[in-house]
Structure 1
Amino acid sequence: MVSMPDLVVQRLTKSFPTPAEPLVVLDGVDLRVGPGESLAVVGPSGSGKSTLLAILGALDEPTGGSVTLGGVDPFTLGEREQAAFRAESIGFVFQDHYLLPQCTVLENVLVPLLADGQASGEDADRATELLRRVGLGERLTHRPAQLSGGERQRAAIARALVRDPLLLLADEPTGALDSRNADAVADLLLELQSGRAGMLIAVTHSDAFAARMGRPTHLLDGRLVEGQSVERSPS
């Protein structure tokens, strides 16, 4: 029997009520991603990329369809169990780093582990090693305000990976950076992903970044289309 991929999305829909008729953002998205794969989702602003990522990360509920990650449908879980599942299995990198300004870089990376109580010495060692790998080994005690924009985003990547999540979601991770730092962050994400069994899904406006991912896709008319270059349908 062929094993199922670790992320399975079937006929996913998302709509929002309006005074006239529902606004359909996602319209039957189907997606399968296996261990170690990296997938990019390209689309213009307002196409539903961030909405898709929020649903995959169990931050928002779909209107219809299903999502299973590692055999678990997070939308069948209670609120507490869903939060625990999200903390354990999913990592997030956003366009804005969302680092806590009062905490050091090391403390920020340890934040996801505090859901289980106090971080251990082993946790601190793992966070320190991740920060070394992202080039911040000499910045452990710095505050976010003492870092450059590219350094803050690298710290955010380390934080997202500290639990080695099954699914890493990146929402425009290079969107707020200049071209030099954007290239460096893209390089780093792909380098770190190459040694992981988990999955990476990134949404981006950049066709160049998407082309470097294992599977570039485009979100068009509420559906995912595989391929690097897709013509938009007439409006």
Structure 2
Amino acid sequence: MPTLNASSLAKSYPIADGELVVLREATLQLERGESAAIVGPSGSGKSTLLSILGTLETPSTGTYELGGAAPFSLSEPELAKFRSRQVGFIFQDHHLLPQCSVLENVLVPMLADGAAGSADVERAEQLLDRVGLAERRHHRPAQLSGGERQRAAIARALLREPTLLLADEPTGNLDRHTADAIVDLLLELQAERNAILVAVTHSEPLAARLQQRHTLNDGRLERQ
């Protein structure tokens, strides 16, 4: 069975006169080390699909397994622990904590276990060195460029060696030169760690570099 196995995922929300269908049919299968781009117009359900794959939202129907586990069968505390250990998130707007240093931001995923240990700090510093931010680790996010903030976000997403990396418009706020460098780095680190990468993007250059390409339109996911 594929490491990531999503079958016939659908998502709807109740509204006053019935229901709002956001996702109608999404099937996606990926092995470790593989990557997929999800493209489509705004409002087509891309972010909803990413939220389900990241276990932030529960599908209305369909099945989902990651690494042999069925996360939506877990209790809420177990699901939060699963998410923390198995999924890394990279967002367009970074979501770095402004009051924390770059190093502290990278260590945020360890809060699910209570606190970061010395081995966690060492791993975070190694990642910051790998993404070119070793000398900036004590800076606040406001002191970084957009590309540097995205590098910090990538390091944070990789801290726990997740099975799945989810990227939501990771180059959306960057100029072309910086975006190309971020994509190079992201793909290098994904390959090194044999992780699965799923990226929602409007960027054709990014989509072209991923192994699979899927279009989501009117809630339906189709492989191209």
Aligned to 1:20: 17
Question: Is 2:114 the partner of 1:138?
Answer: no
Q: Which residue of 1 aligns with 2:30?
A: 33
Matched, 1:205 2:173: no
Paired residue for 1:169, among 166, 171, 177?
A: 166
1:12-65 CA deviation, whole Å, 9 max, x = no partner? 101122333422221121111111111110111101000000001110111111
Q: For residues 18 and 207 of structure 1, what CA distance do their matches in structure 2 show?
A: 35
Q: C-alpha distance in 2, partners of 1:118/1:7?
A: 29
2:148 equivalent to 1:189 = no
Counterpart among 83, 91, 94 of residue 91 in structure 2:
94
Question: 2:135, 2:104 → 1: CA distance?
Answer: 14
Aligned to 1:52: 49
State the distance in 1 between where 2:115 and 2:6 align: 35
Q: Distance in 1 between matches of 2:108 and 2:188?
A: 23
How many angstroms apart in 2 are the aligned matches of 1:164 and 1:173? 19
Please give the secondary structure, in 1, of the residue aligned with 2:142.
Answer: helix
Q: What SS class does the counterpart of residue 89 from structure 2 fall into?
A: strand
* Ranges of 4+ aligned residues in structure 1 off by more than 3 Å: none
Tell me the distance in 1 between the aligned counterparts of 2:148 and 2:205: 22
| Partner SS state of residue 195, structure 1 | helix
Aligned match of 1:215 = 212
* Aligned ranges 1:77-88 → 2 under 5 Å: 77-88=74-85
TM-score scaled by length of structure 2: 0.96
- Give the corresponding residue for 2:144: 147
Paired residue total = 224
User: Match for residue 10 of structure 1?
Assistant: 7
What is aligned with 1:230?
none
For the pair 1:73 / 2:73, whether they are aligned, the reply is no
Contact 2:35/2:211, CA 8 A, preserved across alignment = yes
Is 2:147 aligned against 1:160? no
Partner amino acid, structure 1, of 2:44: S
Identity of aligned residues (%): 62
What one-letter code is carried by the residue in structure 1 that aligns with 2:161? Answer: D
Q: Measure, in 2, the Cα distance between the counterparts of 1:45 and 1:187.
A: 25
Contact 2:45/2:218 (8 A) holds in 1: no
Q: Distance in 1 between matches of 2:55 and 2:76?
A: 11
Q: Deviations along 1:157-198, whole A, 9 cap, x unmatched?
A: 100000010111001111112222222211111111121222
Q: In the alignment, which of 110, 115, 118 is matched to residue 112 of structure 2?
A: 115
- Aligned-partner Cα distance in 1 for 2:186–2:214: 18
CA offsets per residue over residues 110-154 of structure 1, 9 Å max, x none? Answer: 111122132122111111111111111110111111101110111
CA drift of 1:74 comes to: 1.3
Secondary structure of 2:193's aligned partner: coil
What is the TM-score of this pair, normalised by structure 1? Answer: 0.92
Which residue in 2 is equivalent to 1:232?
none
Query: CA offsets, 1:199-233, max 9 Å, x none?
Result: 11000011221010111211123222222xxxxxx
Gaps of 5+ in 2: none
Aligned CA-pair RMSD: 1.2
